Structure 1
Amino acid sequence: MIDTSFHTFTEHLRQRLQKPLPGESAHKKMASASRLRLNVKPNERTRRSAVLICFYPYQNSIFLPLILRPQYDGVHAGQMAFPGGRMERFDENLTRTALREAQEEVGIRVTDVKILGLLTELFIPPSNFYVQPVVGMLPYRPDFYPDPREVEAVVEVDLETLLDETIVGDSQIDVRGVLVDAPFYQIQGQRVWGATAMMISELLMVLAS
């Protein structure tokens, strides 16, 4: 049973993130069939990126924001994700990348974010990115100011929803005209799948340990 008082929760998570992570075993639970079958590896053109998984207290619960990407001519169009993006030359590290991108995409005041730790880096073959999930917390519910070029909507997800095993499904998902067999989390009418679902899987496994 996870203690949902915010301080206790974040302190437990911070301590747990200092220990060995489940990594690939957690990722495989929510990986698409094509990813498991093809087993594509990073190469010399792979770029680094980072996302921010940021918890905050609200209405006697614990929340984190996901974003819905707008429709555009790209591999991640219309998908659910964590705020984040590619590492720039001026970013001193990937934690800075995650914070900067979260500020740019949804307006989070990054000077107020406390970093709790890191999850396992994850390779995303369609975009050839190696993404570092950075876990943090805010002591308050932020005001969101989504950048309309990169964010169609901010979806606030409470911890109880993520812990509900009935939100897990498996289906064929249409990706730019190609049907992909993939497990997903059904959250507020949206299917969260792919790399984001794999990160959530590891996060949940960490919280349960």
Structure 2
Amino acid sequence: MADPLDRIRVALAGLGQASSDFDLNPEAVLPPGRKLRPAGVLVPILYQGSVASVYLTKRSSALKHHPGQIAFPGGKQDESDADITAAALREAHEEIGLKPENVEVLGLMPAHETVTAFRVTPVVARVRAPFQLRPEAGEVDEVFSVPLDHLLNSARFSVQSRRWQGRMRHYYTVPFGPYYIWGATARILRALADATETE
């Protein structure tokens, strides 16, 4: 029986271009010599029966960066992290209770630059078995899952805009039920959706 996540592996092998919060805003002028802080996020996919789902978090509204937004579990790379994958796994354990030994890394996506000056590397992974969700107090308000098929369907995405720092900023969205998934998270998912539809 074929591995249902084979298409994800193939898609990851074909991804080669970094993305950015500025992709839909080519007129944006980025500051020269800017320094981006490395961060890793986990794209955790769990198969149960014939349905695959991706875990996402709703960030606490009290956070400095991206408060209240929908995000992958993850965060900045610490000096103690061996690499960006280790950072993503550590943060996922802290934020949602997913233990590293319950994860099989499928591959990395190209880095994504955020408006808050992070260079975010998405680490796509299989969750080996169901686990007890444990949102990190003060960091995560909620952990929920979205069907993978919903997120890999480019027709589910739209481009929206809002005023930011005096200019209109355009960004991807991929809503699901009460959850408004947008910004960097939606941009990363759109790259993965495009790759799986063309592989």
Q: What interval of TM-score do these two structures reach, taking the shorter chain for normalisation?
A: 0.7 to 0.9
For residues 134-182 of structure 1, what are the alpha-carbon distances to aligned partners after superposition, in whole Å with 9 as ceiling and x for unaligned? Answer: 1110122222101021111112011222244453233334779986433
Partners of 1:41 and 1:123 within 8 A in 2: no
Aligned to 1:188: 177
Counterparts in 2 of 1:32 and 1:122: CA distance versus 1, 3 Å:
closer
| TM-score of the aligned structures, taking structure 1 as reference length | 0.82
Aligned to 2:39, the other structure's residue is in SS state strand
Q: What are the superposed Cα offsets for residues 32-59 of structure 1, whole Å, 9 maximum, x if unpaired?
A: 75x4321526845321100000111125
Hey, which of these two has a bigger chunk of helix by percent? 1
Match for residue 161 of structure 2?
A: 172
Go from structure 1 to structure 2 and tell me whether the alpha carbon gap of 1:176 and 1:143 turns closer, same or farther (over 3 Å shift): farther
Query: Residue in 2 aligned with 1:46?
Result: 36
Instruction: Tell me whether 65-74 or 78-87 shows the greater mean CA deviation.
Output: 65-74
Residue 13 (1) aligns with residue 8 (2): yes
Say if 1:42 and 1:128, in contact at 8 Å, map to a contact too. Answer: no
Instruction: Output the aligned Cα RMSD.
Output: 2.7
Tell me whether 143-152 or 99-108 shows the greater mean CA deviation.
Answer: 143-152
The letter for the 2-side match of 1:190 is Y
Which runs of no fewer than 5 residues in structure 1 stay unpaired? Answer: none
Instruction: Sort the Cα spacing of 1:76 and 1:134 in 2 relative to 1 into closer, same or farther, 3 A.
Output: same
- DSSP-derived class of the 2:79 partner: coil
Q: 1:166/1:204 Cα in 2 relative to 1: closer, same or farther (>3 Å)?
A: closer
Letter in 2 for 1:36: P
Do 2:157 and 2:190's aligned partners in 1 also have CA atoms closer than 8 Å?
no
Aligned residues: 198
**Gaps spanning 5+ residues in structure 2: where?**
none
